[in-house]
Amino acid sequence: MTLDPHELLSTTRSVRRHLDRTRDVPLEVVLDCLRVAQQAPNGADAETWRFVVVRDPGRRAAIGDCYRRANADFAATVAERAVAGEAWAARKLASSGVFWEHLGEVPVLVVAGVEDQGELDGSPYGLASAYASVLPAVWSLQLAARLRGVGSCLVTSHLRLADEVTGLLGLPSTFRHAGMVALGYLTKERFRPAPRRPLSDIVRLDHWEGVVPEQP
C-alpha cells in the first residue's frame, strides 16, 4: 500500500469492522512490523518493552472470551441504549460490538508490556516512564502494519481480567501489561481523517487559562 506520510498519520484508525478474520497474517509480516517498532524512542534506551505474538487459535479464543466477559456489563448497557434509539450507542455497538463477540477470531493478537526491573513504583513518574517506553513502539507497530495492508486496534478492556490473561500466556511476574494490538488484513483500503474537536477545546497555551487561537 502506498501512503504519503500525512495520510498514514491522519487516517490510521482503530479498525474493528474492516479486519479480515478469515485471512492469516504470516508471522514474518508481524515480525517485520515489530522490527520497525523496535526503532521507537524508549526511556534510557533500555528496551524494557516486551511483546507476545499470539497466533494459536485456542489461546486467541481464550483471550477473546476474557475480553467478552470483561465488557459484558458495558455491552449490555450499550445494547439497551441502542434499542432505545440513542445514536452514539448504535455506533458503539456496530464498532466495538465486533470485538466483544469476535476478538478471538482476529488472526493475530500482540500483547504488549514492560519488563519491571524493580523500578515501577506506581508514582506518576514511574508509571509515565514505563508506559512511555512501550506505547510509542505500539504506535509504530500499528503504522508499520498499515503500510503492509494490515489493520490494527489497540485494546485494554481485557486487563480487567489481567491475571487470567497472564495465566493463559504464562507471563512472568515481572511482566506489566500495557495493552494488546489486534491485527488483521484490511477489507477496506482507504480511510478518511476522523472528525475531531477543535484544538481550542483540548490545548492550553502557557498556562491553563491560555487560549489557543482558532484556526482561520
- The DSSP code for 103 is G
In this structure, the dihedral spanned by the alpha carbons of residues 57, 191, 133 and 71, taken in order and rounded to 10 degrees, is: -50
Confidence check: pLDDT of 32 > 70:
yes
The pLDDT-based confidence of 216 (bands split at 50, 70, 90) is low
Query: What cell numbers appear for 214 in the block?
Result: 482558532
Topology at the third CATH level for domain 5-202: NADH Oxidase (3.40.109)
Please state the domain extents for the chain.
5-202
Average pLDDT, integer, range 179-196: 95
In this structure, the dihedral spanned by the alpha carbons of residues 143, 147, 149 and 151, taken in order and rounded to 10 degrees, is: 10
The mean-pLDDT minimum among 21-35, 64-78, 87-101 falls in 87-101
Cα 63 to Cα 106: distance, rounded to the nearest angstrom: 11
Q: What percent of the chain has pLDDT over 90?
A: 83
211 class by beta-carbon count within 10 Å (0-12 exposed, 13-18 middle, 19+ buried) = exposed
Give φ, ψ of 159 to 5 degrees.
-75, -10
Question: What confidence score (pLDDT) does residue 159 get?
Answer: 97
First and final C-alpha spacing in the chain? 34
Amino acid in the structure at residue 102: H
pLDDT digits (tens, 9 = 90+) for 48-61: 999 999 999 999 99
pLDDT digits (tens, 9 = 90+) for 101-147: 999 999 999 999 999 877 778 889 888 888 999 999 999 999 999 99
Question: What confidence score (pLDDT) does residue 204 get?
Answer: 95
Question: What confidence score (pLDDT) does residue 213 get?
Answer: 87
